[in-house]
Every structure is written in structure tokens, then in C-alpha cells.
Amino acid sequence: MNPYEPTALGKPVAWPRHVDAAVLVPIPRAAMRADLGLAPHAPLPFHGEDLWGCYELSWLDVHGKPVQALAELRVSAASAQLIESKSLKLYLNGYAGERMADADAVRARIARDLAVAAGDTVQVALLESAVWGRLRLHAAPGEALDELQIAPASYGPPQPQLLRRASAGRVHETLHSTLFRSNCPVTGQPDWATVVVDYAGPALDHAALLAYLVSYREHAAFHEQCVERIWLDLMQHGACVALTVFARFTRRGGLDINPLRSSDAAARLPAWQRYAQQ
């Protein structure tokens, strides 16, 4: 049985005319992490956050004039639930018909409603349209893997056995690929991302890492679960001493999702940054 069948996910729904937190669909992380071999209630082996970029947010001022802003949401990886993206889009679109005192009132209301859905504090930042011109595209950090020659034998499920160490000794390097693709477990639609791996430890074989990332191409999982699986597989098969993995997914429905998982408790994604692929 599809676990999302009783919900509105993947079905036609009416757009809310006003803000309604009831449309938010929290999805427990515990079940997805159990699939990754993580025991319920055990301390997480990683730190991290999910950074959401929201490009379709508008409300009415006290006179009824529309105001537009971009929003960034930071949800801790330790939160009990993630929030399904279509439900978040529905929720944010409810502000289009809502009169709000100012941007601070919007920020506070979003933070309050999303904290209830996620089961943890959600940090909300707004960037109003007058300063959008400050934003620019950024290049992914580190060395690109995409031009390496590989002959993939599988596009799913993910193949961690492909990972292997190189003949070089210990290194600290940053690698990235824009070739990552997985699929939404609700709708089956493709999700595209730039994946960045920053690690220290025994050198990884770069072509093998690329082949491993490509093996997600027909895999159905949420963005957050994909990044956690990559982190766990690299720690297990690469014997990394330090490891940060993050993915910047392309925008769908006015939202992009950027999960980060790291051995470093202080690791965070920079604010108001996106890659060309986004």
C-alpha cells in the first residue's frame, strides 16, 4: 500500500485562499531512517539541516497591496518530521490572500506553523523584492566529476559496493557532480541535484564515486533520505575521518530543497546562495 494514499499528496487539490496550517503534511523521519539501518531513538551519526528556498511567497499589506519576498527555511536534521514539499507550497500560497501587518508578522507565523509540523524550531529568513538584485549564481565547490568516463551497470537501487578507495594515501578534498537524479516517492517525478562531497580520510576513487551517484538515477526517495544514504555509505565504505555531503536540488513548484549532513556540528549552508542548475 502506498503510505501517502490517505493524504492529498499526488492528487488534485484546491488552492487555499488564506493561510491554513492544516494543509501541511509532516512525514516522520524515523521510518525512512530505519530503512537506512538507523535505530529508532538512537543518537544520529550525523548533524545537519534542510535548507529550503521558497521563490513564490506573496501576501497583502494592510491596504491590500501585494508584497513579494523570497524565503529561506532551515529545518534541523534532528527534527522528528520533514515537511512534504507540495503541502508546503499549498501552505505558502495561502498567504497570497492574507493581509499581514508586515514582513516580521509573516516570518513569525511561518516559523510558528512549520515548527509545529516539523516538531522542532524552524528558522525563517525573508528577502524582500527591493534587494533581489544582490543575488547571483554560484559555482559548486571543488573538483567536478562529470567528465570522468564510466559505464554504469545500474540506475537503481543505489549501489554502495561500487565505492572504493584510490591508490593515493590520505587526503582532504571536495568533489561535486551535477549528474545526480532520483525520483519522488509520491509522484514518481524526477528530482535533479548538484551533489557535493567534502571529506578527509583515505582517498576515494573518483570514477567509482561518480558511478555510485549515478546509481540513484531511478531510485525513489525523498531528497533528505538520499543525502543521508550517501553520507552513511561513504562513511562505511570510504572510512572517512570527516565528511560533509550536501545536495542542491533543482526547483519544483517554486521550492528547492538543499539537505546537508555532516560529521561537523557547525556545518551549515550559506544563506541566499544557489547554483546555476537551480
Q: Most distant CA pair in the chain: distance in Å?
A: 67
pLDDT at 6: 56
pLDDT at 4: 59
pLDDT in tens, 141-174: 999 999 999 999 899 999 999 999 998 789 999 9
Catalytic residue IDs = 184, 191
pLDDT at 243: 98
- Alpha-carbon torsion angle 259, 261, 266, 271, nearest 10: -20
Whole-model pTM over 0.75:
yes
Spans in the chain with pLDDT lower than 50: 1
pLDDT at 22: 96
pLDDT at 248: 98
Full DSSP string of 63-119: TS-EEEEEEEEEEETTSSEEE-HHHHHHHHHGGGG-B-S-HHHHHHHHHHHHHHHHT
pLDDT at 187: 87
Cell numbers at residue 212, please? 555510485
Half-sphere exposure of 44 (CA within 13 A, CB side): 20
